[in-house]
Structure 1
Amino acid sequence: MNPLDTPLGFCSNFLFVPGTRPERFIKALDSGAAGVVIDLEDAVPEEDKKSARDAIRTAWPTFNAEQKKRLVIRTNAPGTHFYAADLILAQELDVGCLLIPKSESMDQINGAALILPNTAIIPMIETAIGLDRLREIASANQVIRLAIGNLDLQADLGMVCDLQETQLQTARYQIVLASRVAQIAPPIDGVTPSTDDIERITDDAERAKRLGFGGKLCIHPKQVLIVKKAFMPTEEELAWAQRVIDADQASKGGAVKLDGRMIDRPVVLLAQRTIALAGKR
């Protein structure tokens, strides 16, 4: 699946909203967020899972086509007794994109893709097993990009991270590398727990961009514009992207060199994403 087939393939910011708070769904969509993740996992207590699914089912017909393209549902983790019902809901509503937490194998992702052949999938890497199987997960069917669940990954690895999460640098690099090898869109970085520390949110977003991430998860509307600004392409990046696209079009998709560098599909994809970010997000 081509990430550019969905606007979520190049979104720089994704805002979480609990599935139990349907009154916030439209507010989240109107917040300026490029993508909105309706959460059925961490933000929803076990006793409220069914009511959260019912709330999404009720709200879904009220969303217009443009809004639905920006909506993502985060399921519960594969292997939990809530997961099958989440997939059934996604199938019933023909959801455009799923965020699957604690993804740990290609079979898990391919199984979801089999049930939901028209749904883009973003596996979330949050465990040691998922990190160990990065390349197979990134290559699974319908995966458009990966995401890191930084807080859960720290806990699973037994890490005690500093404020900058220096200890997770290697994991983040591995996720960026696996995305590049699989020729999917740049991954999505995890959350910044602080909602009021503007400097921390800005630093985290800028670090993610420098590392090669293409976006970041947000837990509060106040974070959205900060993250969006941090990921917005510079004039130099836009000029380079346009030259790549022009060279690719001139070669009609064939192999071509630009400034001594071979232009292949991932480079063209990055250039297209850069232009799309500047124009739409």
Structure 2
Amino acid sequence: MSAGPGFPPLTLLYAPGDRPEVVGKALRSGADVVLVDLEDAVAPDRKDYARAATAERLSEHPPVPVHVRVNALDSPWADADLAALPALPGLSGLRLPKVTSPSDVVQVARRAARGAGGAVPLYALLETALGVERAYTIASAHPALRGIALGEADLRADLGVREDAGLDWSRARVVVAARAAALPPPAQSIYPDTRDLEGLAASCAHGRTLGFLGRAAIHPRQLPVIERAYAPTTEEISWAEEVLKAAAREPGALALPDGRFVDTAVVREAHTTLSLARRRR
């Protein structure tokens, strides 16, 4: 399902760049965006092949948007990634791993320029304590930056966090930083157990309460769970419709018959709920 106007994608599916057949399946999976990975999913001796295979794939426009997670800027492969990818017609965005400063974003934006069209859309992944601490300055570093998100596996290791709840402060920090920088709500990081769909659903529900919207996946079976978790419920849709009907009858602050208060912020939330609901139709 394609993303609606004004909203980030709900489902993003990773596929390793050195497995063209897996990338092809990902493009047919129904994910809103396919994330071709040149970084963690690719062994060092396969980096050049992964880049070449990805460049060949993106020499034409794919059926859904494709973002590429390049190698970290301080790695031996980043220069070749940034030289080969930005001009490709099928590239919709670059995912930048292990971003720790605004200068990382600015550096890539300058190198990823497409002439008068500006830079390729960029997305920063914050995977260290330093990256999270600088979340807002990174989020507001350059107009080409279209989103930020956490890389929770690396962040967990950096912080020494053993319980999942130990990442909630960092999650909230990134949600707030994105909003403060006028960026879309972040998508959640991957859920690593591809067979634990109940755990994935519960984790998505928790992410939704924190302000995330959508999630990255590492297996197609996770996509419907993420889609359902972030789609408005029947009760939420009914509430939104009731709010908008009441607001149309009586502009300004008012109370619904059951005592619930409605003001401009509540009306805006109702519009958002119905817009998300229309994505599934």
- Report the TM range for the smaller structure's normalisation: 0.7 to 0.9
* Aligned counterpart in structure 2 of residue 83 of structure 1, from 78, 83, 86: 78
Deviating beyond 3 angstroms after TM superposition, the runs of 4 or more aligned structure 1 residues are 3-6, 61-64, 235-246, 256-264, 267-274
Q: Secondary structure at the match of 1:81?
A: coil
Mapped to 2, the partners of 1:270 and 1:10 lie a distance apart of 18
Mapped to 1, the partners of 2:177 and 2:4 lie a distance apart of 19
In the TM superposition, 1:2-41 aligns within 5 A as 10-41=8-39
Q: What displacement does 1:235 show?
A: 4.2
* Aligned counterpart in structure 1 of residue 109 of structure 2, from 113, 128, 150: 113
User: Which letter does structure 2 place at the counterpart of 1:56?
Assistant: T
Q: Which has the higher contact order (CA 8 A, sep 6+)?
A: 1
Mapped to 2, the partners of 1:105 and 1:274 lie a distance apart of 37
Given the superposition, is the C-alpha separation of residues 225 and 139 from structure 1 closer, same or farther in structure 2, using an over 3 Å criterion?
Answer: same
Q: Secondary structure at the match of 2:170?
A: helix
Given the superposition, is the C-alpha separation of residues 71 and 45 from structure 1 closer, same or farther in structure 2, using an over 3 Å criterion?
Answer: same
Mapped to 1, the partners of 2:185 and 2:228 lie a distance apart of 17
Q: What displacement does 1:268 show?
A: 5.9
Query: Do 1:232 and 1:278's aligned partners in 2 also have CA atoms closer than 8 Å?
Result: no
Q: Which runs of 5+ in 1 are unaligned?
A: 247-255
User: Which letter does structure 2 place at the counterpart of 1:279?
Assistant: R
Given the superposition, is the C-alpha separation of residues 261 and 233 from structure 1 closer, same or farther in structure 2, using an over 3 Å criterion?
Answer: same
Mapped to 2, the partners of 1:93 and 1:173 lie a distance apart of 35
Residue 251 of structure 1 aligns with which residue? none
**1:92-141 superposed Cα distances (whole Å, 9 cap, x missing partner):** 31422111111111111122222332422111110011011001111122
Residue 127 of structure 2 aligns with which residue? 126
Query: Do 2:69 and 2:97's aligned partners in 1 also have CA atoms closer than 8 Å?
Result: yes
Residue 252 of structure 1 aligns with which residue? none
Seq. identity, %: 32
**1:211-250 superposed Cα distances (whole Å, 9 cap, x missing partner):** 100111111111111111101123455567789999xxxx
Query: Do 2:4 and 2:279's aligned partners in 1 also have CA atoms closer than 8 Å?
Result: no
User: Which letter does structure 1 place at the counterpart of 2:157?
Assistant: A
Given the superposition, is the C-alpha separation of residues 120 and 219 from structure 1 closer, same or farther in structure 2, using an over 3 Å criterion?
Answer: same
- Of residues 218-227 and 79-88 in structure 1, the stretch that sits farther from structure 2 once superposed is 79-88
Are residues 1:225 and 2:227 paired? no
Residue 278 of structure 1 aligns with which residue? 278
Residue 213 of structure 2 aligns with which residue? 214
Q: Which runs of 5+ in 2 are unaligned?
A: 246-251, 255-260
* Aligned counterpart in structure 2 of residue 145 of structure 1, from 129, 138, 147: 147
Alignment root-mean-square deviation, CA: 3.0
Q: What displacement does 1:45 show?
A: 0.7
* Aligned counterpart in structure 1 of residue 49 of structure 2, from 39, 48, 51: 51
Instruction: Name the structure with the higher helix share.
Output: 1
Given the superposition, is the C-alpha separation of residues 273 and 185 from structure 1 closer, same or farther in structure 2, using an over 3 Å criterion?
Answer: farther
User: Which letter does structure 2 place at the counterpart of 1:127?
Assistant: T
Given the superposition, is the C-alpha separation of residues 271 and 50 from structure 1 closer, same or farther in structure 2, using an over 3 Å criterion?
Answer: farther
**1:124-163 superposed Cα distances (whole Å, 9 cap, x missing partner):** 110011011001111122222211111110111122x23x
User: Which letter does structure 2 place at the counterpart of 1:74?
Assistant: R
Q: Secondary structure at the match of 2:222?
A: helix
Given the superposition, is the C-alpha separation of residues 271 and 80 from structure 1 closer, same or farther in structure 2, using an over 3 Å criterion?
Answer: farther
Q: Answer with 1 or 2: which has the greater Rg.
A: 2
Q: What displacement does 1:90 show?
A: 2.1
